[in-house]
Amino acid sequence: MDRRWGFLIGLLSAVWLLLRSGHDEPRPPETAAQRCFCQVSGYLDDCTCDVETIDKFNNYRLFPRLQKLLESDYFRYYKVNLKRPCPFWKDISQCGRRDCAVKPCQSDEVPDGIKSASYKYSEEGNNLIEECEQAERLGAVDESLSEETQKAVLQWTKHDDSSDNFCEADDIQSPDAEYVDLLLNPERYTGYKGPDAWRIWNVIYEENCFKPQTIKRPLNPLASSQGKSEENTFYSWLEGLCVEKRAFYRLISGLHASINVHLSARYLLQDTWLEQIWGHNVTEFQQRFDGILTEGEGPRRLKNLYFLYLIELKALSKVVPFFERPDFQLFTGNKVQDADNKMLLLEILHEIKSFPLHFDENSFFAGDKKEANKLKEEFRLHFRNISRIMDCVGCFKCRLWGKLQTQGLGTALKILFSEKLIANMPESGPSYEFQLTRQEIVSLFNAFGRISTSVKELENFRNLLQNVR
């Protein structure tokens, strides 16, 4: 008996020493990739979709075809007014760096079909809208137009003033509005930063995002994070909001994260009188998303980027019937290319529709009808205000892409809240209840293209950071 007890005690001692030695042995330091991406996996909050499914779907099935579509004439030319005054303050410091400048198109560079179209999508429609615009300039509907055309004019005017719009649209008929070739004015790091950039994001977060009155911590991630307590970290207060207000913050945070990914991926690495070299700046990416450097919030921001991806993806799946209508064209005047591009567009949309884990937007505004409508209006007005803030951005290239991406997201929200109108559209002929302007279409797909590019770039940064400590 004593011999057995002695054997057992010796065995337990050996196990204890083995466990202790393993505990004391120092662990290898985390890689930079682990610090940025270890939490960016699995299921997203308020969603049934996981990050890995999005990565696989976007990077290998959607991204290449979407980029090809966005390089076409219909989607590369965007009309924008970059000279609209800031409606909130007057002391705007204009960025003097050459990379902040936007080069507008010369008149002969834009296809005639695009220049003549604002609302409609066919040659017949373009001729019609020109007549309508002339009638508006005369201050009344021209009686020489057919009864159907007069009705269309009134309906389109009503559409423009619709309360379903989530963005304040540019006055593209203004002499200050110009066409910009998005391929020649890519979104990338321009050096625009400091107090002016901080002010823009601070107004967006602090004055337009929803948050409990009891929370004193600034929402703006650019604000100083010193002295934050555990109770005030990102999700502890966010979880106290209703799903719609949580979603609003995640959309803005996701848009901010996406923009920061673009700036880090297309960073000016070398600038000489001979050439400029643009590429991935790993250090810049770490400063914005490293879990340690951002006190745990960087990975959360990246997850919000995926949330934004799901929202815009779902909007595109909802609007398929609008683009399937036989009288819809991506009209530029080149019939062969227009037909090919519509075919590619529908292929992309049907691919998007096949995505297995779409976001369920039915949880939005699903409570008491009166309260739901009130909340929806608050949601719309907050986002509309953010679209106006884009006119206060001091860097013109940043302003261009800020206006485009907020209009694109606003169009996605408009689609999500117009499901019944889309379902009731006629199979052909004018659609009076639901319309998308060419501006909305171009911004919708280019904005989603930016989010899709961000998701693809995360794969690139993950690979670049694998061996960085």
Q: Please report, in range form, the residues annotated as the binding site for FAD.
A: 188, 190, 201, 253, 256, 288
Polymer length of the chain: 469
Beta bridge partners of 80: 178
Residues in Cβ contact with 218 at an 8 Å cutoff, skipping those fewer than 6 apart? 202, 205, 206, 224
C-alpha dihedral (211, 217, 220, 226), degrees to nearest 10: -160
Q: Return the residue matching tokens 């976007």.
A: 58
Alpha-carbon distance 467 to 455, whole Å?
21
CA-based R_g, the chain, Å:
26
Residues in Cβ contact with 104 at an 8 Å cutoff, skipping those fewer than 6 apart? 178, 179, 180
Residues in Cβ contact with 279 at an 8 Å cutoff, skipping those fewer than 6 apart? 266, 267, 269
Count CA atoms within 13 Å of residue 117 on its CB side: 29
Which residue numbers are catalytic?
395, 398
CA neighbor of 348 nearest in space, from 197, 236, 452, 220: 452
User: What is each CA distance from 336 to 340, 445, 454, in whole angstroms?
Assistant: 6, 21, 32
Instruction: Give the annotated binding-site residues.
Output: 188, 190, 201, 253, 256, 288
